[in-house]
């Protein structure tokens, strides 16, 4: 047990805040490779299923385990009961052991979860052609990391960022000034049970550019950030919805379930990333259309989470653990 490292939330936050752009891009590349391995390699077959427990007192706990040749671990995240003073926030820990089961680290999960979820959602954002105007739903750690990382990665291109918070009057005022149809990216980070905005904000308006819309806040069937009509609109005329885990989205995403999303209409980001994006290569018509969609089309990315991306975030952002994926 002498090698066990325990890191509190403030320490983890300081480490993550001091990462350079080079280090962030390195983690982004590793996360991309992790998703590729999950989608087209053998990564999916060696990961345990997700467990969720709801207590009669109102708490909901997520258990997400992961494995690699060198490490095993579990993330435990608790949603407080509605009557709790901590309601609206997520708390938890990540426990990591080496290949022999010897405990190696226990970091606070809050900052790592927000950081990993935001950077995973921004993988596809890096493929986009335009990112002038951003609308962010939420003001928690997920939202803050989305904004920080977007500025870190493409800050010289961003002209405006509008944050929509939970206060109803303020949210309505902000939406009146900056509807999603005027944005190049709409970042959704709220664990809500009602859509953050109606689909008509996007489907009823013709614009030259369509936004990129990652949704990472809702992670259970009863939760929903995006209007199901928006997903149905996105999948018409041969369109698709981007996901990190197809089976997970079909089981846990309230948006996908309520929109009656079909398995064939869900494309995993790892599958796209595995393709060769060589501009000098002769592309088939299907590949040309896919590139155009990813760069400029209406791309909805519904993230449920892939367990091994948490291990990547620990390995590269918190090197104290000396983990290897």
Other CB atoms within a 10 A radius of the CB of residue 53 amount to: 10
Specify the pairing of strand 185-188 against strand 71-79. unpaired
CA–CA dist 92, 286 (Å, integer): 43
Judged on CB neighbours under 10 Å (0-12, 13-18, 19+), 255 is buried
pLDDT by residue for the chain (325 residues), tens only, comes to 457 888 888 988 888 998 899 999 999 999 999 999 999 988 888 888 888 899 999 998 999 998 888 888 899 999 889 888 887 778 899 998 888 998 888 999 988 888 999 999 999 999 999 999 999 998 888 888 999 999 999 999 999 998 887 665 555 555 555 556 678 999 999 988 999 988 988 886 666 678 999 999 888 898 999 999 999 998 886 678 999 999 999 999 999 999 987 788 899 999 999 875 555 566 778 778 888 889 999 999 999 988 888 777 777 766 655 443 3
Any idea what the Cα angle at residue 78 is, between residues 161 and 310, rounded to 5°? 65
Among 320, 313, 292, which Cα is nearest to 128's?
292
103: tokens are: 């405990």
CA separation, residue 142 to residues 54, 83, 139, 208 (Å): 23, 22, 8, 29
Half-sphere exposure (Cβ direction) of 81: Cα atoms closer than 13 Å? 7
Q: Provide the pLDDT for residue 145.
A: 92
Q: How do the residues of the chain divide into helix, strand and coil, expressed in percent and rounded to 5? A: 40, 20, 40
65: tokens are: 């385990």
CA–CA dist 321, 96 (Å, integer): 9
Question: Are 91 and 78 a contacting pair, CB within 8 Å?
Answer: yes
Specify the pairing of strand 71-79 against strand 91-98. antiparallel
Q: Provide the pLDDT for residue 168.
A: 52
- The per-residue b/e assignment along 212-235, b for 16 or more CB within 10 angstroms, e otherwise, is bbbbbbbbbeebbbbbbbbbbbbb
- Hey, what domains does the chain have and what are their CATH numbers? 5-112+307-321 (3.30.1780.10), 123-302 (3.40.50.720)
Q: Provide the pLDDT for residue 140.
A: 82
- Indicate the pTM of the whole model: 0.87
């Amino acid at each position: 047990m002498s090698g066990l490292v325990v890191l509190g939330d403030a320490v983890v936050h300081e480490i993550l805040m001091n990462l350079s752009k080079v280090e962030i891009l390195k983690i982004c590349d590793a996360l991309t490779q992790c998703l590729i391995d999950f989608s087209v390699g053998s990564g999916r077959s060696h990961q345990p299923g997700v467990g969720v427990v709801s207590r009669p007192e109102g708490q909901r706990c997520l258990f997400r385990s992961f494995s690699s040749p060198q490490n095993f671990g579990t993330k435990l995240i608790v949603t407080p009961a509605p009557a709790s003073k901590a309601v609206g926030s997520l708390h938890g820990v990540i426990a990591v052991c080496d290949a022999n089961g010897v405990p190696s680290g226990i970091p606070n999960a809050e900052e790592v979860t927000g950081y990993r979820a935001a950077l995973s959602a921004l993988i596809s954002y890096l493929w986009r052609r335009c990112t002038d105007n951003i609308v962010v739903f939420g003001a928690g750690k997920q939202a803050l990391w989305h904004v920080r990382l977007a500025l870190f990665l493409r800050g010289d291109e961003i002209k405006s960022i509008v944050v929509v918070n939970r206060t109803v009057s303020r949210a309505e005022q902000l939406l009146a000034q900056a509807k999603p149809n005027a944005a190049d990216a709409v970042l959704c980070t709220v664990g809500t049970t009602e859509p953050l905005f109606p689909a008509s904000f996007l489907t009823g308006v013709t614009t030259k550019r369509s936004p990129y819309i990652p949704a990472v806040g809702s992670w259970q069937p009863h939760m929903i950030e995006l209007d199901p009509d928006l997903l149905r609109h996105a999948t018409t005329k041969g369109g698709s919805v981007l996901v990190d885990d197809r089976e997970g989205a079909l089981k846990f995403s309230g948006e996908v379930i309520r929109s009656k999303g079909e398995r064939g209409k869900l494309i995993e980001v790892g599958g796209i990333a595995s393709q060769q994006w060589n501009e000098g290569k002769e592309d088939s018509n299907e590949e040309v259309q896919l590139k155009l969609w990813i760069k400029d089309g209406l791309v909805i990315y519904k993230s449920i989470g892939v367990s091994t991306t948490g291990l990547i975030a620990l390995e590269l952002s918190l090197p104290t653990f000396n983990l290897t994926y």
